[in-house]
């Protein structure tokens, strides 16, 4: 970088940076802050639900908490964390000096805080905080309920900005992967994480515009007199659900595919074997991505579809189990007869495989039309998607942190604290979410602040688990800060049998890497 | 293009050109998918009409009706009766009285029947209301044909005005034998509500 002038320091370094490592760090910190914000909302929810009856917050505030918790975790925590990992890792993994479009990269990050502010701002409108006017219609913002919400424009524009950010980030990732690979790095030699992100990025550019479209329709329905979803003018609220879930179903794979990639990187390292069935992993990922576009109506089995439609969506949904099972089988087969060691990243990765599979199985149950009529909109659904999103996506993100943080900072994580973090999280997350299967099957609806006393015992335990899980993530914050500040120095290789270009550079990774592309054999 | 940043070492011109090409293609996909989201709206209506889904009706034109009715009348199926249930709902705080004069009626498929609905505006303002129909089970909707209905157009009610409104319909004799009951629901919407809440 001969022409590169002195790097700016202080706040301007972060505001104007076009460096993929800086931007990756920004994304990861942003998502961590959002995780804590969304997490504290979950604490409010669990406090209210700890005992039957109304005790902590009023119902509208409770609904606002469930809504904002969902939106913040999906769009603020999981997705930006995955993009942060992509920014940090993809150029280092494919031997590129930076992302393909560095200035757009800066934009796609700095739109996010603005979007987050727009999203939470309505909570602070009105007399006092508790009577806040934030969205309270559930994170799926079904019409016609959401159309009656006063500050809809805040929500719509926040979603627009989030969409812009994701789309720009995805275009950047696609351009980087397709054009910036080191000589010799053919597509089928790319690390699994890169593959999963390439496919995720295509999903993003395909469905985020549909989300932007559907919120635009809501906006014009409310403020400009159109009637897309307003039955009085000839519109149809059920159509909202179709368009929303056309976005919404691929969205859940957007959140999990990069997690698959992370786990596919970690398990071979600590099993000291090559990833079993690399090619089948790639094809399975692509198959999951394709299937995600044709199963959306399994979220709405109870709207009154004809039997033929229900059968089609049931069969198509259950079909997704096939490529997903291929992946779980491959991870297991990679560990089979491997020289396993259980470093912290490996613990999180194994926990991921085990508990994501639990979430997958409950997904199969929900995908069966006749039984879905019982499970629909109960805590069983809540338990299902928290198993795939918390013990799935979030666990993979934490695994990725422990796996790559020695490369990012040059320091190893504190060994004892991180063990406590893992075991506390693992036990508490199961105490938190497993009982929700039982109360869901017993008929407790989701999104309610009060419930029949028969659900009291399991809700109590669920809340206890929730508080411990929340506290464990404060410990995670301590670990992150401690690791950045110091700790045992990491070697360049870090892990004995880690493979990939990112382990050939120094630890911590220099500000500029692969200015001269490496040769890949 | 400024978005692509300064040319870096290891980022030769060819790469930059490839990046521009990739960006152009992906932006086209994005624009296309934004359009596709909106294209789902007419697509949805077409699919619902074709398959008679979602309790949608096929409303016939006057001339078609006359011809259709004579044919149907010939085919009145006196061997069975179908029970029609009438449900009435008001949307959101509409201060209004709205009910069917009779809750159920038993009809032979093919027989043209007329029933009356009663509505009264209880407010002291003029209300333009629109009734939105829905049929359960959904797959029976295409066999339920309305010839005259107060739901075909907006209904204007002066403050305190009350009136009876007719619905003339017949059930197509091709209605599957397993259908013994059809529920017809009407929801009354205040069409000014949107403007008022703005």
Query: Do B60 and B6 sit in the same domain of this protein?
Result: no
Q: Does B40 contact A170 at a Cβ distance shorter than 8 Å?
A: no
For residue A21, indicate whether it is catalytic: no
Structural domain tally of chain B?
A: 2
For residue A386, indicate whether it is catalytic: no
Q: Which residues pair with B170 in a beta bridge?
A: B145
**How far is the C-alpha of A328 from the C-alpha of A205, rounded, in Å?**
27
For residue A472, indicate whether it is catalytic: no
Where do the H-state alpha helices sit in A121-191? 152-179
Q: Which residues pair with B103 in a beta bridge?
A: none
What is the share, in percent, of chain B residues with pLDDT greater than 70?
76
Range A206-230 average pLDDT? 91
The residue in chain A having the minimum alpha-carbon distance to the alpha carbon of residue B22 is A175
Query: Do B100 and B85 sit in the same domain of this protein?
Result: yes
The mean predicted confidence, pLDDT, of chain A is 92
The mean predicted confidence, pLDDT, of chain B is 79
Q: Are strands B127-136 and B82-90 parallel, antiparallel or unpaired?
A: unpaired
Structural domain including B33 reads 1-51
Residues in chain B with CB shorter than 8 Å from the CB of A205 are 26, 29-30, 33
In Å, how far is A457's CA from the nearest CA of chain B? 37
What is the share, in percent, of chain A residues with pLDDT greater than 70?
97
Q: Does A239 contact B132 at a Cβ distance shorter than 8 Å?
A: no
- Are A269 and A499 in contact, with CB atoms under 8 Å apart? yes
Which among A179, A212, A517 is the nearest to B18, CB-wise?
A179
Query: Do B15 and B90 sit in the same domain of this protein?
Result: no
Q: What is the pLDDT of residue B11?
A: 53
Q: Which of A157-161, A455-459, B6-10, B17-21 is least confident?
A: B6-10
In Å, how far is B21's CA from the nearest CA of chain A? 9
Q: What is the pLDDT of residue B46?
A: 82
Q: DSSP letter string over B15-54?
A: HHHHHHHHHHHHHHHHHHHHHHHHHHHHHHHHHHHHHT-T
Q: Would you say residue B59 has pLDDT above 80?
A: no
Of residues A160, A298, A384, A437, which has the active-site annotation?
Answer: A298
In Å, how far is B137's CA from the nearest CA of chain A? 8
Query: Do B42 and B6 sit in the same domain of this protein?
Result: yes
Q: Which of A17, A144, A175, A246 is best to mutate for the B interface (most B CBs within 10 A)? A: A175
Query: Do B92 and B172 sit in the same domain of this protein?
Result: yes
- Does residue B190 or residue A217 have the better pLDDT? A217
Of residues A21, A160, A249, A273, which has the active-site annotation?
Answer: A249
For residue A376, indicate whether it is catalytic: no
Helices A192-223 and B13-51 pack at an angle, to 10 degrees, of 50
Query: Do B64 and B139 sit in the same domain of this protein?
Result: yes
Instruction: Judge whether B79 is closer than 8 Å to chain A, CB to CB.
Output: no
**How far is the C-alpha of A210 from the C-alpha of A167, rounded, in Å?**
12
> In which band, very low, low, confident or very high, does the pLDDT at B198 lie, cut at 50, 70 and 90?
very low
For residue A69, indicate whether it is catalytic: yes
Tell me which residue of A4, A126, A501 sits closest to A136, measured CA to CA: A126
In Å, how far is A216's CA from the nearest CA of chain B? 10
The residue in chain A having the minimum alpha-carbon distance to the alpha carbon of residue B28 is A205
For residue A419, indicate whether it is catalytic: no
DSSP state of B158: -
Q: Are strands B155-157 and B162-171 parallel, antiparallel or unpaired?
A: unpaired
Residues in chain A with CB shorter than 8 Å from the CB of B178 are none
In Å, how far is A199's CA from the nearest CA of chain B? 13
Q: Does A101 contact B53 at a Cβ distance shorter than 8 Å?
A: no
Range A85-97 average pLDDT? 94
Query: Do B41 and B90 sit in the same domain of this protein?
Result: no
Buried-state track A31-62, b at ≥16 Cβ within 10 A, e below 16:
bbbbbbbbbebbbbbbbbbbbeeeebbeeebb
In Å, how far is B16's CA from the nearest CA of chain A? 8
Q: Would you say residue B64 has pLDDT above 70?
A: no
Dihedral class, residue A9 (left if φ above 0, else alpha if ψ from -120 to 50, else beta): beta
Q: Does A97 contact B40 at a Cβ distance shorter than 8 Å?
A: no
Q: Does A209 contact B4 at a Cβ distance shorter than 8 Å?
A: no
Which among B34, B136, B189 is the nearest to A231, CB-wise?
B189
Q: How many CB pairs under 8 A join A and B?
A: 137
Range B92-113 average pLDDT? 84
What is the share, in percent, of chain A residues with pLDDT greater than 90?
81
In Å, how far is A188's CA from the nearest CA of chain B? 20
Which among A98, A210, A232 is the nearest to B37, CB-wise?
A210
Give A271-301 pLDDT, tens digit per residue: 999 999 999 999 999 999 999 999 999 999 9
Query: Do B63 and B135 sit in the same domain of this protein?
Result: yes
Residues in chain A with CB shorter than 8 Å from the CB of B37 are 209-214, 243, 246
Q: What is the pLDDT of residue B54?
A: 55
Q: Would you say residue B197 has pLDDT above 50?
A: no
For residue A166, indicate whether it is catalytic: yes
Query: Do B15 and B110 sit in the same domain of this protein?
Result: no
Q: What is the pLDDT of residue B187?
A: 85
Instruction: Judge whether B176 is closer than 8 Å to chain A, CB to CB.
Output: no
Which are the contacts of A420, defined by CB distance < 8 A and separation ≥ 6? Answer: A475
Q: Which of B16, B38, B44, B152 is best to mutate for the A interface (most A CBs within 10 A)? A: B38
Q: Does A232 contact B55 at a Cβ distance shorter than 8 Å?
A: no
For residue A446, indicate whether it is catalytic: yes
Query: Do B38 and B123 sit in the same domain of this protein?
Result: no
Q: Does B53 contact A239 at a Cβ distance shorter than 8 Å?
A: no
Q: What ipTM goes with this model?
A: 0.86
Query: Do B112 and B63 sit in the same domain of this protein?
Result: yes
Q: Does A179 contact B53 at a Cβ distance shorter than 8 Å?
A: no
Q: Does A100 contact B22 at a Cβ distance shorter than 8 Å?
A: yes
Residues in chain A with CB shorter than 8 Å from the CB of B193 are 232
For residue A298, indicate whether it is catalytic: yes
Query: Do B103 and B148 sit in the same domain of this protein?
Result: yes
**How far is the C-alpha of A98 from the C-alpha of B77, rounded, in Å?**
76
Range A443-467 average pLDDT? 94
The residue in chain A having the minimum alpha-carbon distance to the alpha carbon of residue B140 is A306
The residue in chain B having the minimum alpha-carbon distance to the alpha carbon of residue A180 is B15
Q: What is the pLDDT of residue B15?
A: 85
CATH for B101: 2.60.370.10
Which are the contacts of A99, defined by CB distance < 8 A and separation ≥ 6? Answer: A20, A23, A87, A90, A91, A105, A172, A173, A175, A176, A180
Give B140-194 pLDDT, tens digit per residue: 877 888 888 888 888 888 888 888 888 888 888 888 888 889 998 888 887 765 5
């Amino acid at each position: 970088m001969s022409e590169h002038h002195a790097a700016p320091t202080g706040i301007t370094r972060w505001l104007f940076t076009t460096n993929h490592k800086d931007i990756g760090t920004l994304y990861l910190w942003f998502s961590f802050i959002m995780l804590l914000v969304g997490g504290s909302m979950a604490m409010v929810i669990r406090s209210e639900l700890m005992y039957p009856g109304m005790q902590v917050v009023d119902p509208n505030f409770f609904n606002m908490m469930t809504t904002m918790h969902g939106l913040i975790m999906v769009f603020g925590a999981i997705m930006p964390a995955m993009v942060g990992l992509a920014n940090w890792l993809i150029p280092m993994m494919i031997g590129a000096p930076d992302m393909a479009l560095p200035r757009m990269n800066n934009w796609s990050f700095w739109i996010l805080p603005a979007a987050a502010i727009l999203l939470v701002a309505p909570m602070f409108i009105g007399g006092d905080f508790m009577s806040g006017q934030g969205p309270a219609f559930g994170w799926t913002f079904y019409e016609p309920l959401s159309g009656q919400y006063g500050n809809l424009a805040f929500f719509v524009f926040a979603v627009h900005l989030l969409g812009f950010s994701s789309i720009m980030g995805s275009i950047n990732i696609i351009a980087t992967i397709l054009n910036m690979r080191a000589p010799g790095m053919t597509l089928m030699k790319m690390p699994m994480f890169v593959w999963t992100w390439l496919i995720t990025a295509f999903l993003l550019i395909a469905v985020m515009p549909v989300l932007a479209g559907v919120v635009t329709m809501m906006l014009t329905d409310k403020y400009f007199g159109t009637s897309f979803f307003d039955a009085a003018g000839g519109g149809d609220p059920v159509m909202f659900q179709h368009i929303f879930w056309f976005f919404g179903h691929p969205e859940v794979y957007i959140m999990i595919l990069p997690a698959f990639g992370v786990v596919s990187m970690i398990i071979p390292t600590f099993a000291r074997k090559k990833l079993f069935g690399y090619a089948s992993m790639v094809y399975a990922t692509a198959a999951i991505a394709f299937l995600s576009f044709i199963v959306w109506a399994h979220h709405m089995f109870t709207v009154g579809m004809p039997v033929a439609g229900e059968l089609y969506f049931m069969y198509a949904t259950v079909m997704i189990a096939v490529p997903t099972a291929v992946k779980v089988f491959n991870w297991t087969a990679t560990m089979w007869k491997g020289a396993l060691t259980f470093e912290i990243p490996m613990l999180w990765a194994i926990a991921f495989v085990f508990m994501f599979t639990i979430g997958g199985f409950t997904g199969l149950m929900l995908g069966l039309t006749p039984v879905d009529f019982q499970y629909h909109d109960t805590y069983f659904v809540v338990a299902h998607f928290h198993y795939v999103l918390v013990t799935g996506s979030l666990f993979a993100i934490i695994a990725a942190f422990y796996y790559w943080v020695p490369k990012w900072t040059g320091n190893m994580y504190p060994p004892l604290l991180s063990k406590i973090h893992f075991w506390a999280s693992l036990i508490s997350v199961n105490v938190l979410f497993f009982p929700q299967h039982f109360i869901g099957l017993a008929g407790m609806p989701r999104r309610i602040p009060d419930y029949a006393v028969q659900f009291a015992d399991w809700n109590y335990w669920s809340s206890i688990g929730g508080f411990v899980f929340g506290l464990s993530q404060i410990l995670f914050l301590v670990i992150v800060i401690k690791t950045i500040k110091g700790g045992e120095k990491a070697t360049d290789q870090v892990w004995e049998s880690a493979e990939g270009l990112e382990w050939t550079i120094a630890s911590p990774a220099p500000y500029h890497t692969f200015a001269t592309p490496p040769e890949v054999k | 293009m400024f978005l692509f940043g300064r040319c870096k070492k290891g980022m030769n011109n060819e790469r930059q050109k490839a990046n521009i090409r990739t960006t152009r293609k992906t932006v086209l996909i994005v624009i296309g998918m934004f359009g596709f989201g909106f294209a789902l709206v007419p697509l949805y209506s077409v699919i619902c009409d074709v398959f008679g889904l979602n309790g949608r009706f096929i409303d016939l034109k006057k001339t078609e009706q006359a011809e259709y009715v004579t044919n149907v009348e010939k085919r009145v199926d006196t061997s069975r009766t179908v029970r029609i249930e009438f449900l009435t709902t008001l949307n959101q705080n509409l201060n209004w009285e709205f009910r069917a004069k009779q809750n159920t009626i038993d009809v032979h498929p093919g027989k043209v029947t007329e029933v009356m609905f009663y509505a009264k505006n209880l407010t002291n303002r003029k209300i333009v209301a629109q009734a939105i129909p829905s049929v359960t089970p959904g797959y029976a909707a295409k066999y339920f044909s309305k010839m005259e209905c107060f739901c075909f157009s907006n209904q204007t009610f002066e403050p305190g005005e009350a009136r009876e409104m007719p619905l003339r319909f017949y059930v197509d004799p091709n209605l599957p034998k397993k259908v013994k009951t059809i529920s017809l629901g009407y929801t009354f919407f205040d069409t000014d509500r949107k403007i008022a809440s703005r």
